[in-house]
Amino acid sequence: MTNLVMKMLTHRKAGFAGAFVALLCAAALVTACGMLLDTGLRGAVAPERYAGAPVIVAGDQYARLTKESGKEKAKALTERRWIPASLAGEIARTPGVEKVVTEVTFPYAGFTAHGWESAGLTPFTLARGRAPEAPGEVVVDARHSGATIPGHRVVGVTAQALPSQDTLFFSTEEARRLAGRPGQLTAIGVFPQVDLTVRDAQVYTGAARGAVEFLDAENARIRLISLGGALGGTALIVAMLVVVGTFALSIQQRQREIALLRAVAATPRQVRRLISGEALAIGVAAGPLGAGAGILLGIWLHREFVGLGAVPANLPLVVGPFPPIAAFLCTVLAGLAAARLAARRVVSIRPVEALGEAGLPARRLPWSRIAAGLLVTAGAVVLTVVLASLTTEAASSPVTMLTALTWTIAVALLGPVLAVPFRVPGVTGHLARRNLRAGRKRMASVVTPLTLLIAVTCTSLFVQTTMEAATQRELDAGVRADHVIRGGTAADARRVPGVEAATAVLRTSVRVGLDKYTAQAVTPDGLGATMDLGVVAGSLARFGDRSAAVSSTAADRLDVAVGDRLSLLLGDGTPAQVEVAAVYARGLGFGDLTLPYALVSGHVDDPRGTVLVAGGDRTALERALPGATVLDHVVAIAPAASNAPATSNAPATAIAPATAIAPATSNAAVNYVAMGLIIAFCAIAVVNTLAMSTSARSRELALLRLVGTTRRQVLRMLRTETATALALSTALGTGIALVTLAAFSTGMTGSALPYVPPLTYLAVITAAAVLALTATAIPARFILRTPPAEALGTRE
């Protein structure tokens, strides 16, 4: 049997090349996704600033909840949890402790700022100058020697610089004042290494010091787990669909050969073993090569994510054996399953029927395939209804792509029924239509990857545009301010002549239980003059220091109404209880919850947010607030030209911030890069399938040449066939995307109308058309170079 398998592979190189390419690409994609997931699970960040301290005492950076079963669940906090300064004295009195170094860390003007008393943690030493002593004095790291800090005087330069962070030192008193956390510390370094048990804090040693130093890295690990899992699951479904389609086309082209084997007494079991052996050989050859290519792809993907700011550079990619091994096994199993599934009918029916179908394909589908197609269609309908009811990104993101893929699988199963060629005028149109009517299965095998490409691309792109457009609409309607200020204070803005109201705004997130909600913190005075949240219940007149306004979507999830009490955890894990004063409609533009500024400002890493100003003159504001950036209303709420680095661990299809003042969410560019891999795989499948389909028709095209058809007419006929398949695929793929997007938009925005930019949609269809026509024309031209008589005499 092994000898026969090898002869078959040698005899039909072109046909098996398509299956080899499909499996190789599948292995590469699964490997790359697996490396992201592995990095999220096993990746570690080495400490930099805390590398010189053997023990770090800091706050627990997780929100924890104990279930009724006694099992504890934890979620990473989005803001740093600080600890009481009094712990430093207690730790210093612990036997064995020789020295403690207190640390205050906060972002400032693009730097990571500290008090000079914590310089010994790394340690930092002065290369020149002196330590900061008075307000307005700073020390910069060696990388910024010669730099100027607006409003401050550089009095010293360190001899060291950290690889992943720009460091700035204030005097101890000034740093604690600017951090806005009186009586609290970021961390405490302990020398030498001793066993400690500290109340109200956690003890970190070894690699755990890196996790507490770089909170973004820990959140990035969680993001990679989510992204790698979602992308890997999508990749597996797409890969299986593509591989099954490729093997189905290969088996279809060999139907006569397999029928002859049956006719000369080969048993179904022997034929299955032969086909399985071929698939196994292709999988074993493609798997290692694909896994190797996948490692390179994973390295590139990690580098792109680092460049986009979604993954910190000091979270290195884990290159381990598990993803390539898993990809190899998945490739082999997918090939075996696809080959067995594709050959099921031709192997199971009687030899005479097999020969009859090889000569004249059956005009109707088997009932089992129709039943499977209807069952998958029913599943797609259910998923669509479920998607329309989902109102959060975490819930809707995985279901969105799954819904589109399920509809595509239904199209693949029912493809020969749906592949009805329409009438095309002219001689070549007549030939194309006759060919397509006679080869519906072949047409269906071409339509499926084209439909998959269009549906996946449109869904991936227009989920983003739909959410961005909805967010933009709410901001356009809700922002009443004339100016938006960055780097200034509301108190300073209110003193400017002509200013009617100034609202300070901070962006953060909170947790209710362990569920995360986006939130904004605002000062209540003059709020109505600067923003309109679209209140639908209650009144912002009741908004005070211990109250909150809740978006209608969040109110439904939390099951709260006006007057109810709501317990939550602020960004740094501090518990708080607020009373719901109002429910508003514009949650996409302004966040799930609106909280008092006084409640939140002491619990965020960076208390400097934005200020919305009603009235006043821009020039006067810039003069009164030196160093601040003042934007006009139109500029401030215009869609961003580029997306800021992500700050949330949102899933693969999450939205990007639309404007300068929108709630911070994940980076859309990251999602485009991630889904771009799936789209590229679909594009390769289109080219692969069309090339296989065209190459297998060399004898048919030779016959047409012999009966007088010119090369130009043959090429025109093939282009017409491809255009017909493309038109059908465009209708099906667009329909799948629209149904999926309408359901997504209904749940997430309340409107069933997604936003589809016409030029972007046209570019998608044009790209699909160019791919399809090119993949048909190139092999056809090679075939037509061979004289017809020679082509008929050669074996495929």
Q: What is the 3-state secondary structure (H, E, C) of 96-111?
A: CCCEEEEECEEEECCE
What pLDDT, on the 0 to 100 scale, is given for residue 791? 58
Q: What is the pLDDT of residues 476-489, one digit of tens each?
A: 899 999 999 988 88
> What's the pLDDT band for 334 if we cut at 50, 70, 90?
confident
> What's the pLDDT band for 657 if we cut at 50, 70, 90?
very low
Q: What is the pLDDT of residues 219-259, one digit of tens each?
A: 788 888 888 888 888 888 888 787 777 777 777 666 667 76
What pLDDT, on the 0 to 100 scale, is given for residue 764? 94
- Distance between CA atoms of residues 611 and 204, nearest Å: 38
Which of 221-230, 347-356, 526-535, 559-568 bottoms out in mean pLDDT, i.e. has the lowest? 347-356
Which of 5-9, 444-448, 771-775 bottoms out in mean pLDDT, i.e. has the lowest? 5-9
Q: What is the pLDDT of residues 689-706, one digit of tens each?
A: 788 777 767 777 777 777
Which of 185-194, 344-353, 463-472, 527-536 bottoms out in mean pLDDT, i.e. has the lowest? 344-353
Give the residue with greater pLDDT, 592 vs 358.
Answer: 592
- 562 has a pLDDT exceeding 50: yes
What pLDDT, on the 0 to 100 scale, is given for residue 1? 53
- Distance between CA atoms of residues 759 and 100, nearest Å: 62
522 beta partners: 505, 596
Assess contact for 610 and 479: CB atoms under 8 A. no
Shortest CA distance to 315 belongs to which of 393, 221, 231? 221
Sequence-distant (6+) residues with CB within 8 A of 243 are 19, 22, 23, 26, 334, 335, 338
For 62-81, what is the mean pLDDT? 85
Shortest CA distance to 260 belongs to which of 279, 274, 249, 245? 274
- Distance between CA atoms of residues 401 and 314, nearest Å: 31
- Distance between CA atoms of residues 519 and 513, nearest Å: 15
What pLDDT, on the 0 to 100 scale, is given for residue 665? 45
Q: How many CA atoms are closer than 13 Å to the CA of 211, on its beta-carbon side?
A: 22
Domain ranges (residues) in the chain: 1-45+214-225+240-360, 55-209, 362-473+651-796, 480-636
Chain centroid offset of residue 644 CA? 15
Assess contact for 581 and 599: CB atoms under 8 A. no
- 268 has a pLDDT exceeding 80: no
Assess contact for 479 and 612: CB atoms under 8 A. yes
Q: What is the DSSP code (8-state) at residue 60? A: -
- Distance between CA atoms of residues 628 and 61, nearest Å: 32
What pLDDT, on the 0 to 100 scale, is given for residue 646? 34
Shortest CA distance to 336 belongs to which of 444, 240, 408, 448? 240
What pLDDT, on the 0 to 100 scale, is given for residue 648? 34
> What's the pLDDT band for 428 if we cut at 50, 70, 90?
low
For 436-453, what is the mean pLDDT? 74
- Tokens of residue 565, six digits: 């009490």
**If you average pLDDT over every residue of the chain, what do you get?**
83
What pLDDT, on the 0 to 100 scale, is given for residue 661? 54
What pLDDT, on the 0 to 100 scale, is given for residue 658? 35
Q: What is the pLDDT of residues 7-65, one digit of tens each?
A: 555 555 555 677 788 888 889 988 998 999 999 888 888 888 998 899 999 999 999 88
- Distance between CA atoms of residues 521 and 519, nearest Å: 7
What pLDDT, on the 0 to 100 scale, is given for residue 413? 83
pTM: 0.81
> What are the φ and ψ backbone dihedral angles of 3, each rounded to 5 degrees?
-65, -40
Run of H or E residues at 399:
helix 393-413
- Tokens of residue 532, six digits: 């309109």
**Given the structure tokens 């006929």, which residue do they identify?**
717
What pLDDT, on the 0 to 100 scale, is given for residue 506? 92
- Distance between CA atoms of residues 1 and 349, nearest Å: 22
Q: Quick one: what percent of the chain has pLDDT higher than 70?
A: 84
Assess contact for 633 and 477: CB atoms under 8 A. no
Q: Alpha-carbon dihedral of residues 377, 380, 382, 384, nearest 10 degrees?
A: -140
What pLDDT, on the 0 to 100 scale, is given for residue 537? 94
Which stretch, 314-328, 338-352, 668-682, has highest mean pLDDT?
A: 314-328
- 546 has a pLDDT exceeding 70: yes
Which of 651-655, 662-666, 769-773 bottoms out in mean pLDDT, i.e. has the lowest? 651-655
Q: What is the DSSP code (8-state) at residue 392? A: S
The end-to-end CA distance of the chain, in Å, is 21
Give the residue with greater pLDDT, 694 vs 416.
Answer: 694
- Distance between CA atoms of residues 515 and 512, nearest Å: 5
Q: What is the DSSP string of 596-634?
A: EHHHHGGGSS----EEEEEES-HHHHHHHSTT-EEEEHH
Q: How many CB atoms lie within 10 A of CB 337?
A: 16
What pLDDT, on the 0 to 100 scale, is given for residue 339? 77
For 283-301, what is the mean pLDDT? 91
